[in-house]
């Protein structure tokens, strides 16, 4: 049978072949999709909160710490939580068996369906082996071990500026990753150090100081080196050390790009497309869109969609537009950010005629960097101005889709090439609807439009070069 796979699994138990090994082969045979299990390590102030949070957001998987899981289990009164509470109330250390049991329960939750990040666990090789056994029982394994590496002397300089949002674990730094509420000059306090998402006051850990740090670093290295060695010996696991040392030449986004690469984050194809009026953007952008199966997006269309759909960012745009004001770059970037989350953008997207300023280009770069992405291609369709002036009068457009036609160079099927072009014989090939001409598609208006186009586009091309 062509569509059937016959698999024989060695089910012979032995000293070297356990039940979990057989189960792993059975799971492989039926094509069981494994979750992405990531272990994340890093010394204090190395950026685990920042980059772990980004990985969590991009992959839509939770970042879990044993401390938080332990508290949750105790508070929720689960069977394993009760065991942990009894031990803790007696002033004893919670055993590895209980910790593994708590992790096992937690990762059954719906938010772990695609995977999870274990933050700072395991701390001993015995815990690593117990974790491996737990995962093997569901034919899973640790896929990536990511360590954020920073020289000890750099951390000692860096530690005092760290502030944390206690509820979420989000991490900030007065110098390297300040919250929006901090001006970078004042004395940092709980009044001006506020979480970007909730506006709640940030806190500093009592042991985030230069005198306590050397002891904490010594303990970290003693714990972590054997764990990394343990997983380097696993064939299916990649151990990656990312340089997390911030400097003038190495910014937070550079570190994030390396983290994204380490977890195998597939980047979408992001294309910027430019061209003067009647240069063929509608024709060739449409073809690119069709071939790559990615949408061609214009800011005007996205703005209208956002306003019509009544999204939060659309409401902001409507308020500004109703007041007769120009929509800010911040709102435009917000609208793009929302739009490219849609399913049709999963492989990438084309931004048609955007950005129009270097400030917009920088804002777009920052937006993409947040998901470890970047502009891959900038495509400009270049036509001499004098040729465009001759060409402009023959352009007709399908208003709903943006598809572009020309009486001479790209006529619709409905046009015979001889008659006077009208809305009766100039019809869209796909829908049969009447095409229209832009009011400013004429030889008198074009020189001014071309001057504006060149003034906008030359700096953008230079920016991306």
What secondary structure letter does DSSP report for 32? P
User: What does the alpha-carbon distance between residue 237 and residue 145 come to, in Å, rounded to a whole number?
Assistant: 7
- Catalytic residue check, 205: yes
- Catalytic residue check, 162: yes
Residue 219 has which token pair? 């303990």
- Catalytic residue check, 123: yes
Residue 405 has which token pair? 């036609």
Of the listed 162, 170, 281, 403, which one is catalytic? 162
User: What does the alpha-carbon distance between residue 200 and residue 179 come to, in Å, rounded to a whole number?
Assistant: 11
Residue 249 has which token pair? 């030449």
For 10, other C-beta atoms within 10 Å of its C-beta total 10
Of the listed 71, 216, 304, 449, which one is catalytic? 216
Of the listed 85, 205, 337, 449, which one is catalytic? 205
- Catalytic residue check, 48: yes
Is the distance from CB of 400 to CB of 283 less than 8 angstroms? no
Which residue spans within 132-190 are E strands per DSSP? 144-149, 162-164, 171-173
Half-sphere exposure of 221 (CA within 13 A, CB side): 9
Sign of the Cα pseudo-torsion (53, 57, 59, 60, in order): positive
Of the listed 54, 83, 106, 123, which one is catalytic? 123
Is the distance from CB of 138 to CB of 208 less than 8 angstroms? no
Question: Residue 116's beta-bridge partner residues?
Answer: 37
Q: Residue 372: which region, alpha, beta or left (left: phi > 0; alpha: psi -120 to 50)? A: left
Q: Residue 25: which region, alpha, beta or left (left: phi > 0; alpha: psi -120 to 50)? A: alpha
Catalytic residues: 48, 123, 162, 205, 216
């Amino acid at each position: 049978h062509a569509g059937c796979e016959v698999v024989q699994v060695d089910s012979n138990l032995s000293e070297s072949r356990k039940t979990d090994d057989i189960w792993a082969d059975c799971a492989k045979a039926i094509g069981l999709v494994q979750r992405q299990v990531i272990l994340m390590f890093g010394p204090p102030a190395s950026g685990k909160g920042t980059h772990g949070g980004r990985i969590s957001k991009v992959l839509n998987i939770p970042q879990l710490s044993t401390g938080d899981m332990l508290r949750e289990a105790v508070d929720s009164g689960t069977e394993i939580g009760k065991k942990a509470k009894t031990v803790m109330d007696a002033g004893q250390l919670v055993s590895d068996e209980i910790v593994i049991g708590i992790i096992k329960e937690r990762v059954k939750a719906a938010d772990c369906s695609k995977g999870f990040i274990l933050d700072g666990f395991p701390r001993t090789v015995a815990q690593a082996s117990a974790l491996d056994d737990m995962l093997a029982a569901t034919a899973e394994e640790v896929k990536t071990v990511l360590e954020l590496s920073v020289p000890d002397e750099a951390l000692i300089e860096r530690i005092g500026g760290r502030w944390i949002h206690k509820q979420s674990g989000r991490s900030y730094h007065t110098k390297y990753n300040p919250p929006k509420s901090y001006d970078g000059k004042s004395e940092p306090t709980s009044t001006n150090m506020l979480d970007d998402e909730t506006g709640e006051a940030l806190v500093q850990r009592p042991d985030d100081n230069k005198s306590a740090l050397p002891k904490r670093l010594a303990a970290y290295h003693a714990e972590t080196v054997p764990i990394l060695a343990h997983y380097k010996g696993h064939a299916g696991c990649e151990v990656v050390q990312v340089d997390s040392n911030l400097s003038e030449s190495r910014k937070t986004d550079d570190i994030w790009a390396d983290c994204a690469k380490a977890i195998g984050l597939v980047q979408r194809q992001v294309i910027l497309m430019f061209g003067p009026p009647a240069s063929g953007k509608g024709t060739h952008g449409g073809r690119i869109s069709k071939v790559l199966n990615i949408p061609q997006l214009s800011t005007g269309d996205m703005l209208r969609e956002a306003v019509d759909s009544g999204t939060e960012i659309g409401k902001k745009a409507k308020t500004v537009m109703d007041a007769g004001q120009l929509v800010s770059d911040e709102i435009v970037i917000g609208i793009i950010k929302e739009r490219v989350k849609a399913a049709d953008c999963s492989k990438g997207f084309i931004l048609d005629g955007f950005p129009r300023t270097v400030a917009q280009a920088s804002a777009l770069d920052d937006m993409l960097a947040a998901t470890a992405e970047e502009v891959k291609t900038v495509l400009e369709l270049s036509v001499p101005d004098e040729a465009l002036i001759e060409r402009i009068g023959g352009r007709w457009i399908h208003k709903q889709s943006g598809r572009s036609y020309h009486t001479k160079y790209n006529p619709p099927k409905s046009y015979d090439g001889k008659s006077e072009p009208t809305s009766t014989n100039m019809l869209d090939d796909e829908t049969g609807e009447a095409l229209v001409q832009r009011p400013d598609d004429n030889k008198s208006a074009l020189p001014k439009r071309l001057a504006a186009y060149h003034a906008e586009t030359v700096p953008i091309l230079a920016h991306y070069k």
